[in-house]
Chains A and B, each alone.
Chain A
Amino acid sequence: MKPVLEIENLRVGFPDGTAAVRGVSLRVGRGETHCLVGESGCGKSVTALAAMNLLPRGATRSADVMRFHDEDLTRLSERQTSRLRGARMAMIFQEPMTSLNPAYTIGSQMTEVFQRHRHATRAQGMDRAAELLERVGITAPGMRLAQYPHQLSGGLRQRTMIAMALMCDPELLIADEPTTALDVTVQAQILRLLQTLQRELGLAVLLITHDLGIVARMAQRVSVMYAGQVVESGSAADLFGAPTHPYTRGLLACIPIPGKTPRDQPLGSIPGSVPKTGAEFAGCAFRDRCTYATADCAGTIPHRTVATDHRTLCTMVPA
């Protein structure tokens, strides 16, 4: 089946010379949740922003392929991409507290998106907004529509953001750490909501997170990012069952599993820190922190296929 979003060899550079994304490839299919995992600064958000053409000014992006359905995102102008954003591809963010405009009511902000893309009337927009607020589990939508963001809790705001993203029935939803700023109980509710919506609407979801617990719960496919590259990708079962890259293994060792992790032993951790990667950086970016590193790791490392749809960027796996 053709993927909804397909990215090959995406590169993003910032004016200060950092290469934030260095050759990322990923695909998200219809009805599939693809999790992009990694620690802060590994380039996962930048990858998503590049796909949405929302990179900060001065950033440069290039890709061999960046396609949304049949639209070649690399060739579209900003004006053309803005016609897709909010209509066919939507995005929600980590900061529900600040992601809504404090000066306008929820209803007005949701309606504007609908009016912009569907050329609908304000009343139609309000009806649609009320319908979606109800859908994301907000009671008394009529009242909420007339309220301002500061009158809503964080969880309600994130639900509102999700509802707003769904106003025009998008095919792709990019969720950038959507639950990080929320209470644990609210997190669980929002994740359940995303799962339900995805199933019912057949959404392609690109979920960005640093939380492997969320990945285990949500993902069909996983891409692990490190220093601007996808170091390992595959189905959730493959990655959790048979991780090959030392970084993926290190990440997995960091989470306690009740009943399995011995009580008296310290949890795993990865010593060292992420290197600065400029455009010239070659070899495996993880080699300085890796206990298995050899001389080969400083050279160019092509992707290796472990199994069908399971790829890794490590010399230990035979080519």
Chain B
Amino acid sequence: MRGIGAAPYAGSMLTFLFRRLVLAALVCLTVLVVAFALTRLSGDLAVSMAGPNGTAEDVAIIRKNYGLDRPLPVQFLDWAVNAASGDLGRSYLYRAPVSGLIAERLPITFCLGLTGLTIALLTAIPLGIVSAMKEGTLLDRGIGLIALIGQAMPSFWLGLVLVIWFGLKLQWLPISGTETWDGYIMPGIVLAFSAIPALLRLTRAGMIEALASDYIRTARANGLSVASIVLKHALRNAAMPVVSVAAVQLGFMLGGSIVIETVFALHGVGYLAWESINKNDFPVVQAVVLLLAMIYIGLTLAADMMNAVLDPRLRAG
């Protein structure tokens, strides 16, 4: 019987993965349609590309050259098929392939997002655990206050304060750019600050619930060490909502870091999106929306997978 018993749930893990992948593909398709529709709904692209001084002939030429005179479904299919093969069109503004523009900026955004998430998790999880273990004490309330302040502080302001103190007065860290790794520290901290409160509260709430559960009583009755009780038995059960939210937070950090990229002059994807929206560079906008949506879908999928690893009951359902 040991043979069968070795991995009773390996099959259902694959089923679970497959179901999630199908779902992710459907969401991708929806995103493609929406991303395409959005740019077409924001006005006649040929007119805005021709500029305020463009004549009707210019518009007609642009329309023909860019294939905008074709029926929308054809345009969509053309774009979607190209996008699937990695060709996201050419930027009108930079006169260069969009994929190249994004590939150049993506590493910066990823480094920033990962730095932010790492700082956020390394702060929020230990504080959340301590807060839960000391529930109701002064320490717990102090930590709660920190979370509240973090939530209330606007990130552009925190960014500027950090720049003034650590960049200008103390001169510990560079105030802008990403030439060296330490250029990511301050923007990372600012990004982390917005994610910490939610992660901290979730960790705390999850840990309080887990620590009060019957299986923790069993673990204590079996004389397990405090470290094992807290970090192995309780944290694993408290971690699931934290994982889900951390994935969303990372997506937010990757897509919504426009303010921070501006404050610290980081030329990441957020900055590129901001620029393209202003200049009506629609292939870039489309591509960024698509990319961010894919990242979100990928992250959510990853979070689901991690949760399925954490909680065997999910694999069955």
Contact = CB atoms under 8 A, between A and B. Distances in A.
Nearest to B310: A103
Interface in A14-59: 52, 54
A161 interface: yes
B222 to A, nearest CB: 3
Contacts of B311: 102-103
Contact of B6 (A86, A146, A165): A146
A82 B224 contact: yes
B316 A102 contact: no
A150 interface: yes
Interface residues of B, number: 29
Contacts of B233: 101, 103-104
B214 A142 contact: no
A113 interface: yes
B8 A54 contact: no
B312 A102 contact: yes
A95 to B, nearest CB: 5
Nearest to A48: B221
User: SS class of chain A's interface: helix, strand, loop or mixed?
Assistant: mixed
A103 B218 contact: no
A95 B214 contact: yes
A85 B223 contact: yes
Interface string B59-103: 000000000000000000000000000000000000000000000
A261 to B, nearest CB: 37
A113 B1 contact: no
Contacts, number: 98
B237 interface: yes
Given A84-B223, A98-B213, A103-B237, A147 B218 contact: no
Given A93-B217, A101-B215, A102-B312, A116 B224 contact: yes
Nearest to B2: A142
B226 to A, nearest CB: 8
Contacts of A230: none
Contact of B316 (A90, A150, A161): A150
A133 B4 CA distance: 17
Nearest to A102: B313
B276 to A, nearest CB: 45
Contacts of B221: 52, 54, 85-86, 90-91, 93
A99 to B, nearest CB: 5
B223 A82 contact: yes
A143 interface: yes
Contacts of A207: none
A164 interface: yes
A11 interface: no
Nearest to A114: B222
A112 B220 contact: no
B53 interface: no
A103 B236 contact: yes
Contact of B218 (A83, A99, A117, A143): A99
B225 A82 contact: yes
Contacts of B217: 54, 93, 99
Nearest to A95: B214
A112 B222 CA distance: 9
Interface core residue of A93, A103, A144 (most chain B CB under 10 Å): A103
15 contacts: A81-B223, A82-B220, A82-B225, A85-B222, A86-B221, A86-B223, A99-B215, A100-B218, A102-B237, A102-B313, A142-B5, A143-B2, A147-B8, A150-B312, A165-B222
Given A103-B237, A148-B312, 8 more contacts: A99-B215, A102-B215, A102-B311, A103-B236, A113-B222, A140-B1, A140-B5, A143-B4
Interface of A: 52, 54, 81-87, 90-91, 93, 95, 98-104, 112-113, 116-117, 140, 142-148, 150-151, 161, 164-165
